[in-house]
Amino acid sequence: RVPVAADSGVGLVPPAVSALFVTGEKDTYGPPETLRRWAASAAPPPEVVIVPAADHFFAGHLDELESAIGSFLAAIPVGAAR
């Protein structure tokens, strides 16, 4: 079962901390517009990255996925999780 695509995020609890959601532009399991709408309702709103032309598995787009995750993690201040 896929919460965002199946239920438009209904019942999916937004994170209470900084979060990153990465989806592909062509992701049928987590459609970008559905994810953006759901993320906009969260506080704080999570960062949403849409990888152009990527599907759910990021086939051929793993470098972009790695870059999005790396950039997000690099922006977290040292010691923030303590």
Give me the count of residues in the chain.
82
> Is there a cis peptide before residue 77, judged by omega within 30 degrees of 0?
no
Instruction: Give the mean pLDDT of 17-30.
Output: 93
Neighbours of 40 (CB within 10 A): 12
| pLDDT value of position 7 | 63
CA dihedral 31, 32, 33, 38 (to 10 degrees): 90
Write down the mean pLDDT value for the chain: 88
Q: Estimate to the nearest angstrom the gap between the alpha carbon of 48 and the chain centroid.
A: 5
The pTM of the whole model exceeds 0.85 = no
- Please, which pLDDT band fits residue 80 given cuts at 50, 70 and 90? confident
| pLDDT value of position 23 | 96
